[in-house]
Structure 1
Amino acid sequence: MEQQLTIKKVLNNNVIIAAHPSYEEVVLIGKGIGFNKSTGEDVSFDKADKTFLLSNEQEKEQYVNLLPHIDEALIDFMNDILHHIEARMGQELNQHIHVALTDHIAFAINRAKKEMQFSNPFLFEIESLYPKEYQVATEVVTMIYDQMGIHFPEGETGFIALHIHSAVTDKTLREINRHNQLITRLVGIVEKTMDVEIDKKSVDYHRLVQHLHRAIDRVYQGESAGDEIRLAEMLKQEYPVCYNLAWKLIKVMQKQLNKPVDESEAVYLTIHLQRLTHKS
């Protein structure tokens, strides 16, 4: 039997909010699902192409306020985009992406139509840290161009990748951006201290950024990178500049994260810095 739900609010022809026996309220998205429908009427759960929960009241209010300003064709297209992201990432996405990514892409389309230029200062870090998300974001940008003829600047690919990463890790964009800002700052310190311009496309840069990202995660999880006392002494003697720079980075991390950073991180940072600055 088809499950019948009661309509609580019709947002537009393609989106309704309905009462669900288990989840209180669900958002149903489907072509024409809200056409000529009214509050209190029944609707078949099976008619929805996509369903999701908005248990967070703030997100629900944001979504309700957002929809009147978005073309209904875009809402339908967003359904295809989210299906594509889920299929490519191989997992369900956190529900908040329905609000956040819809909001972002709608404004990105407006920016592109007005030919507003902007840059994404974390583009290289995003591509290095989240290669799969970045690839899927590139595919989303291609889908938008094929469907709407709108060309997004490269910076938008980075922002979409962050939304995807947020949805698969359940981390907030604020938290992700804070970590990216810290990594960008640390890389800047390396370039200034060593008086080099690091090739952002190089394998060694990629390894350094990946290590810094994992080091930040270890700080939050209270993990150690390992006990490498003898190796630390050797590196301190062999590569004093890189070793001292590693400790400078650690102190910046400790101050910004407001957490202690394990001393063993200096060993692995020194190795990365020596390899990277030697090639530079």
Structure 2
Amino acid sequence: MKIEKILNNNAVVIKENDNEKIVMGCGIAYKKRVGDEVSEDKIDKIFLLSNKEINNKFQELVSDIPMEYVELGEKIITFAKTQLGKKLNDTIYISLVDHIYTAITRFLEGIEVKNALLWEIKRFYKDEYPIGLTALDLIEEIFSVRLPEDEAGFIALHIVNAEMDGNEKEVKRVYKITKIMQEILNIVRYNFKISFDEDSVYYYRFISHLKFFADRVFSERTYKDENNDDLFGIIQNKYKNSFQCVEKIAKFIEDKYQYIISDEEKLYLTIHIERIVYKSNK
């Protein structure tokens, strides 16, 4: 394996079958030049990311920060994939590693950033949030720094972003999605004067639906199914109270986010709200 590029003393780029790989190891580039062979006994990690753009950005990140942060990020991502049983978009290698490095640097400078949606993150992302807490344990173990719980929420959002789309460069969009989910839940809660059973399968399904609905709002995509006209009329008449609640949601979304909810989206929102309200009252 010949060195194509030296990123720092501990990371180099090699090329195999027209694919650039980032190879890391302590002192792997010490006294080396482009074209030299990589000492295989020094290799600790090899990264092959999904496309050239992501690969180039990751190379830039690796060249700027200590290897320990990249290794920690990789350990957290591997743990997340195992826990969730899902693939995560490769952009998380950039966003999560950069966030952890920035968060630790900021904390050591005495700056703590509050996570205004921490409570909602705990409720909406019950699989991802514990991974954020484990990440804090790993950070403390490696760097002897205990970051505040707010950071577990931010890390969870990075994981959610990698699950949902991964094309976004920042986690801000997922943060907005979480906010709109909370706003819709509040409308339903106050409209029916109920408390949700957050452990129920119906609540989980409703949250999952809201997650993808909110994603469409910020992506300006509308769900349409021309075959549901008859069903929409039936649901509208059968679940009148839930449909009236959806109309309130639709007005709120249009006023605040300039997004018009289609009849198809109203149909599925009505069904989900009817289910969760019925189960909550029961």
TM-score range normalised by the length of the shorter chain: 0.7 to 0.9
Q: Give the CA deviation at 1:65.
A: 4.3
Q: Which whole-Å deviations, capped at 9, do the CAs of 1:154-182 have from their partners, x for residues lacking one?
A: 22112211222233444333543342232
Q: Paired residue for 2:35?
A: 40
Q: Which whole-Å deviations, capped at 9, do the CAs of 1:88-146 have from their partners, x for residues lacking one?
A: 33355322222111100001112222342332233343333332222222211211122
Q: For residues 155 and 70 of structure 1, do their structure 2 counterparts lie closer, same or farther at Cα, with a shift above 3 Å needed?
A: same
Q: Which whole-Å deviations, capped at 9, do the CAs of 1:162-215 have from their partners, x for residues lacking one?
A: 222233444333543342232233235456x64979679675866653342254
SS at match of 1:26: strand
Q: Give the CA deviation at 1:148.
A: 2.0
Structure 2 residue runs without a partner (length 5+) = none
Superposed, which structure 2 residues align to 1:179-190 within 5 Å?
179-190=177-188
Percent of pairs with identical residues: 24
Q: Paired residue for 2:91?
A: 96
Q: How many residues align?
A: 268
- Answer yes or no: is the 8 Å Cα contact 2:139–2:145 preserved in 1: yes
Match of 1:268 among 261, 268, 271: 271
CA separation in 1, counterparts of 2:86 and 2:209?
A: 25
Q: For residues 94 and 30 of structure 1, do their structure 2 counterparts lie closer, same or farther at Cα, with a shift above 3 Å needed?
A: farther
Find out whether 1:233 has 2:237 as its counterpart. yes
Name the TM-score, length of structure 2 as normaliser.
0.74
Q: Paired residue for 2:224?
A: 222
Larger deviation, residues 81-90 vs 200-209: 200-209
Superposed, which structure 2 residues align to 1:112-131 within 5 Å?
112-131=107-126
CA separation in 2, counterparts of 1:271 and 1:142?
A: 41
Q: For residues 45 and 269 of structure 1, do their structure 2 counterparts lie closer, same or farther at Cα, with a shift above 3 Å needed?
A: same
SS at match of 2:239: helix
Q: Which whole-Å deviations, capped at 9, do the CAs of 1:4-43 have from their partners, x for residues lacking one?
A: 2x212222232212223232x2222234333332212122
Q: Give the CA deviation at 1:64.
A: 4.4
Find out whether 1:9 has 2:2 as its counterpart. no
Q: Paired residue for 1:85?
A: 80
Alpha-carbon RMSD: 3.7
CA separation in 2, counterparts of 1:200 and 1:114?
A: 41
Structure 1 residue runs without a partner (length 5+) = none
Q: Paired residue for 1:247?
A: 247
Name the TM-score, length of structure 1 as normaliser.
0.74
- Answer yes or no: is the 8 Å Cα contact 1:12–1:72 preserved in 2: no
Q: Give the CA deviation at 1:56.
A: 4.2
SS at match of 1:32: coil
